[in-house]
Structure 1
Amino acid sequence: MFRRVVEDFECGNCGRAVRGNGYTNHCPGCLWSRHVDEEPGDRAAECGGLMRPVHAFLKGQKIRIVHECSKCKERKNVNSVAADDRDEILRLMAASARDVMGF
């Protein structure tokens, strides 16, 4: 079950100060995250590894970002938000398409 937790954080990858709104789980600049949740908002993950954005794709009208934990390799899909760097999103989507197409 989703639990809304409003908290600001510093990106563990690029150092950007990120203002949370209760739904924020990744840096809008570099799109990296941290493995802190088992379920959204629960802060129950013991791993704590940095989560690298590895793919992006459309699901209906939403852009989803796939993060992979650099420590435990778990993958999680999250929604992109309006503040996310669109060039980074497009780069991820292009890389995803190349992977699927075998380029």
Structure 2
Amino acid sequence: MNRANKRTNFVACDEGFNCLNCQKKVIPLGRGYRNHCPFCLYSRHVDENVPGDRLSLCRGLMKPIALEAGSRKGYLGYSVLHQCLSCGKQIRNLATDEDRLSEFLTKQHKKS
């Protein structure tokens, strides 16, 4: 795909998967788009240019490194900042009410 034809809009993709970090089975969200594990918050580097494009060749495990406040209708108002453990790229993903954010925050607090 040349630059003139490169996709710039969000690609809807609500798929289930097995988490590569905690090995739990993650079911599709059903009312949005899931891109990280709700149990451990880890993701996988599958998107390259826009969410849902699944064009990344990296496929590395993405570690949740921070929660960022924000707002968007239908979401908790937080984004999870992930960093790829293979290439270092950082990507933000919206948190949902099923995400175990309190467990992540507890772990982060214990580290500091």
For Structure 1 versus Structure 2, the TM-score category normalised by the shorter chain is 0.7 to 0.9
- Could you tell me which residue of structure 2 aligns to residue 70 of structure 1? 85
**1:57-99 deviation line (CA, Å, top 9, x unaligned):** 211461111000000000001111000013234337758xx6x
1:7, CA displacement in angstroms?
1.4
C-alpha distance in 2, partners of 1:85/1:46? 28
Aligned residues: 96
Q: How does 1:6-17 map to 2 (within 5 A)?
A: 6-17=14-25
Please give the root-mean-square deviation of Cα atoms over the aligned residues, in Å: 1.9
Relative to the length of structure 1, the TM-score reads 0.83
Name which one, 1 or 2, has greater alpha-carbon Rg.
Answer: 2
Q: How does 1:15-94 map to 2 (within 5 A)?
A: 15-21=23-29, 23-38=33-48, 39-60=50-71, 62-91=77-106, 94=109
Q: What runs of 5+ residues in structure 1 fail to find an aligned partner?
A: 99-103
Task: Decide whether the 8 Å contact of 1:31 with 1:88 is kept in 2.
Answer: no
The sequence identity of aligned pairs, in percent, is: 38
